Amino acid sequence: MEASSDSKSSMRIVLWGIVVGLATLIVYLLATRGEEYETARSVLMVVVFTVIGVATGAAVGSRGIIGRWSTWESVLAAILSGAVGVLFFAWGLTGWKVTGALEAIPGYGMALHDLFYGFWFLAAALVPYVVRKPGAAVAAELVASLISMLLGSEWGLSVLVSGLAQGGLAEVVFAVRGYRHYDLLTLVVAAAAAALGSWVVDYAFWYNTLEPSVLVMMLVARCISAAFFSGVLGKWIGDALAATGVLDNTALGRARMEG
């Protein structure tokens, strides 16, 4: 029964993502009809609007599904997401600023700095890995981003937009997998999808004057970073917590006992 429900949820979320993504793209193309753009910039803007639309659609499609979680699942997801949100804020004050010195390197310094960006996708991998419910990725990233913003993140409301894009795209990956697979490869791909979400938001807010070659290198760097700092690290943290027995009453804990 639960597998059937998850299958319906995955179809709903993917469909919402496709529909809203296409609608957003169409609106953008109609709004810019007749305007002339430099080719690379035009392609990037198409990607930006389509990706944000897909992520938004996935979030909308997840809304009613999250309301069907058990109280325990909701509380646990909120606790984990809140804790990660505090870590997001701390990382912004410490590790991200320290590694910011890499941007001074001529050429691809910003891409090198983005090799440390992946920590900000941790909630989108860790919480779904533990809870294993439709909507977990987008809910976790939004809560973590909100906590980081409320604590005083220097990037303000753009943090929430990033959280939506990151969590929404990661959610699509879990949905495509039918909410039945939470292996390392799935977590890594979900984290990479979150990296794409962050990249399009950062391009829209901050980086639209950079050369396309630098932007591509930054995206590659973020995906590599996401694989380690969110995919691998998220699984390791989840497994470490489960090994203590505190997650025995979760989907991850039950999967470990059955395995």
Q: Is the pLDDT of residue 33 over 60?
A: yes
Q: Is the pLDDT of residue 1 over 60?
A: no
How far apart are alpha carbons 215 and 223 in whole angstroms?
12
Q: Is the pLDDT of residue 257 over 60?
A: yes
Q: Is the pLDDT of residue 6 over 90?
A: no
Residue given tokens 């949820």 in the structure block: 9
Q: Is the pLDDT of residue 143 over 90?
A: yes
pTM, entire model? 0.93
Judging by beta carbons within 10 Å of its beta carbon (0-12, 13-18, 19+), is residue 184 exposed, middle or buried? middle
How far apart are alpha carbons 120 and 140 in whole angstroms?
11
Instruction: Provide, rounded to the nearest whole percent, the portion of the chain with pLDDT above 70.
Output: 95
Instruction: Provide, rounded to the nearest whole percent, the portion of the chain with pLDDT above 90.
Output: 71
Looking at residue 2, what is its pLDDT? 57
Residue 259: pLDDT band with limits 50, 70, 90: low
Extents of the domains making up the chain? 2-258
Q: Which of 14, 21, 15 shows the shortest CA–CA distance to 48?
A: 21
Q: What is the mean pLDDT of residues 34-60?
A: 83
Q: Is the pLDDT of residue 167 over 80?
A: yes
